[in-house]
């Protein structure tokens, strides 16, 4: 008969050289942030108004899909480490590291500035998670590094859109 492998018998978890509960809490915080980021981008893509609206909406929709992909990567790693991704959506805001700043204005410049702020928080968060897991959990390190690279690209995309927008306004 096949033996059921208990959590503490998984070598894949044993090799993690840090407090796994603490790591799971941190990953769940990032997981909550990703769902919030997904929702914020998804909604902003629909609401955004003003010059370059079509171009900005397309970029926001693309970012939404990438934040959703990040939530998937984090959920898979949380489960692999023996944890449970946050079960209730109402707990996302409570556990999120960057929080949820509801869109106050649909004008393109305000939307870009809000989302740049969100990306900058995400970059700082993932950079600190990287430092936390470096040399202790190579698999999580690899996942977080790939997410960090995406967040840096997101910030870059939004900053460039904002500069192009300001260029239009100066004409
Ligand atoms: Fe993300
Ligand atoms: Fe992002």
167 — pLDDT class (breaks 50, 70, 90): confident
> Over 90: is that where the pLDDT of 48 sits?
yes
Instruction: Domain of residue 128: give its range.
Output: 27-170
* Alpha carbon distance 90, 112 (integer Å): 26
| Residue 105 covered by a domain | yes
Residues lining ion ligand 2 (Cβ < 5 A) are: 151, 154
CB 158 within 8 A of CB 119: yes
Region 108-118: mean pLDDT is: 95
Q: What total of structural domains would you count in the chain?
A: 1
* Alpha carbon distance 70, 1 (integer Å): 38
Ligand number nearest CA of 67 is 1
5 — pLDDT class (breaks 50, 70, 90): low
- For 13-45, letters b (16+ CB in 10 Å) and e give eeebeeebeebbebbbbbbbbbbbbbbbbbbbb
| Residue 22 covered by a domain | no
Confidence at residue 8, expressed as pLDDT on a 0 to 100 scale: 67
| Residue 7 covered by a domain | no
Task: Calculate how far, in angstroms, residue 11's C-alpha sits from the geometric centre of ligand 2.
Answer: 32
24 — pLDDT class (breaks 50, 70, 90): very high
* Alpha carbon distance 86, 70 (integer Å): 15
- Provide the CATH number for the domain around residue 86: 1.20.1260.10
The CA radius of gyration of the chain, in Å to the nearest whole number, is 18
Q: Look over the chain and give the mean of its residue pLDDT values, rounded to a whole number.
A: 93
pTM to 2 decimal places: 0.92
Task: Calculate how far, in angstroms, residue 120's C-alpha sits from the geometric centre of ligand 2.
Answer: 9
Confidence at residue 171, expressed as pLDDT on a 0 to 100 scale: 46
């Amino acid at each position: 008969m096949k033996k059921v492998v208990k959590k503490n018998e998984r070598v894949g978890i044993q090799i993690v050289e840090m407090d796994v509960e603490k790591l799971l809490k941190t990953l769940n915080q990032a997981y909550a942030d990703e769902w919030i980021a997904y929702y914020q981008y998804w909604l902003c893509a629909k609401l955004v108004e003003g010059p370059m609206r079509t171009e900005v909406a397309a970029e926001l929709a693309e970012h939404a899909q990438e934040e959703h992909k990040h939530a998937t990567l984090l959920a898979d790693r949380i489960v692999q480490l023996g944890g449970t991704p946050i079960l209730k959506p109402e707990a996302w805001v409570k556990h999120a590291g960057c929080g949820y700043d509801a869109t106050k204005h649909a004008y393109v410049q305000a939307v870009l500035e809000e989302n740049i702020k969100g990306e900058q928080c995400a970059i700082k968060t993932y950079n600190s998670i990287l430092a936390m897991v470096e040399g202790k959990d190579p698999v999580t390190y690899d996942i977080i590094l790939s997410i960090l690279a995406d967040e840096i690209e997101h910030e870059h995309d939004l900053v460039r859109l904002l500069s192009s927008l300001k260029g239009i306004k100066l004409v």
